[in-house]
Amino acid sequence: MCCARVFLVLSVVMYIKCHDQRAEQGYPSGLMSVCPGSTKPATIPRSQLKYLHFVVQGATNRQKYTYWTAKNIAKDPRIDFRRKTLVVAIGYLDSTNFPISMILTNEYIRRGYNVILIDNQRFATVHYFLATRLMRPVGKHVAEILAILTRSGLDPTKLELLGFSLGGQTVSYIATNFQLLTGRNISRITALEPAGPCFRTLGPTERLESTNADFVQVIHTNIDGYGMANRMGHVDFYVNGGEYQPADLNLFPCTATCSHFRVLALWAIAVRNPEKFIAIKCNTIQEARDAECYKNKQVTNVMGLDVDVKKHGIFFLSTSKSYPFYLGKAGIKKEFAAWRRISDINDSNETAIYT
């Protein structure tokens, strides 16, 4: 009996070795897995803190504050701390003046949020290795301002952080420092394609992690390029498997940069159209990569502000290849997985091909 079991185990191992191409070819480690010196301690001199800005965004106008004047945000006429407050962390080489900041924040303003944009462009428009290092002290100083604002009525249970790319990692430093300063958790973090380069080999205490807030939602669209594959939230959505996104035109694939930035459009649409992006739960990240979650007991969740915070796990989200991207209930059907709908060019059984 024992010999039979050993034979069975050996047979399974040999089958995997013979048929698992990943075991033979290796797994992708992603873009810039190791970044020399990026985790070394860093401080921002007091004379440089005047370049850390906080932009209060209103429906029709905005007001910019420096680190030194940010305590006055509590008196800004656009701010009412009885409402929810969103703090937005921008990405690498990003700016609060770019249109995408307005597009994202306008959706929150329509929902009645206070919106504060962190303008750390001075510290994020340097060599990428240095920028990742500087986000740690940036996060610390932003947390200091948020802690001051709590004394003026900012309620941590109504405080949310939104970060894209490098900003998706910066929010973790804001949140952990806020915990240290106040002893309280930020209510929610939404991380849009948190940066993988310089972060994917770090442990949970050095990057975004689910303990950073009461609830953490992560959206993945380019996990082997500019994003990262790790599960980092209570709910992680792997859009079309998370590796690459389908292109509008089949002849022009949506490569790393396109897939990375696709998350911005997806999130803006998800905020505007609640419960339209329906995802299905997976057992593993590999299942999500391969769109092989349909055989599981069907558990669904929606990407967006109306996500079910009690349904934790890894979720595969299928989209269409063009605006508005959402599939609704069709998204949980196997035949609607994006890679199955790229093209029907090879569906024919004809062997003679005329071009």
Tens digit of pLDDT for each residue in 189-228?
A: 999 999 999 999 999 999 999 999 999 999 999 999 999 9
* Cα-to-chain-centroid distance, residue 250: 26
- Residue 317: closest CA among 282, 283, 341: 282
Domain assignment present for 219: yes
Could you tell me the two tokens for 95? 């700016």
Per residue in 21-56, pLDDT tens?
667 777 777 888 778 889 999 999 999 999 999 999
Reported as a pLDDT band with limits 50, 70 and 90, residue 148 is: very high
322: nearest Cα among 245, 244, 251, 268: 245
Does a structural domain hold residue 36?
A: no
DSSP letter at 154? -
| CA angle 216–220–222, rounded 5-degree value | 150
Is 40 within a domain?
no
Residue 17 lies in a domain: no
Q: Is the pLDDT of residue 120 over 60?
A: yes
CATH of the domain at 206: 3.40.50.1820
pLDDT at 337: 85
254 is in which domain, residue-wise? 48-336
pLDDT above 90: percentage of residues in the chain:
76
Residue 158, domain member (yes or no)? yes
Residue 293, domain member (yes or no): yes
The verdict on residue 289 lying in a domain is: yes
Report which secondary-structure segment, H or E, holds 64.
strand 62-66
Residue of 207, 175, 222, 167 lying closest to 191 (CA atoms): 167
186-192, strands of its sheet edge to edge: 62-66, 53-57, 114-119, 85-89, 159-164, 186-192, 213-220, 235-239, 313-317, 278-282, 300-302
pLDDT at 13: 45
pTM of structure: 0.90
Structure-block tokens of residue 134: 């500087």
Residue 244 lies in a domain: yes
* Count of domains observed in the chain: 1
Show the CA angle centred on residue 303, arms to residues 300 and 308, nearest 5°.
Answer: 60
Phi first, then psi: give them for residue 24, nearest 5 degrees.
-80, -40
Torsion of CA 343, 349, 350, 353, to 10 degrees: 30
- Sequence-ordered list of residues with C-beta below 8 angstroms from that of 110, at least 6 positions apart, any chain: none
* Torsion from C-alpha of 325, 188, 90, 207, nearest 10 degrees: -110
Across residues 46-75, what is the average pLDDT?
97
CA angle 303, 305, 311 (to 5 degrees): 60
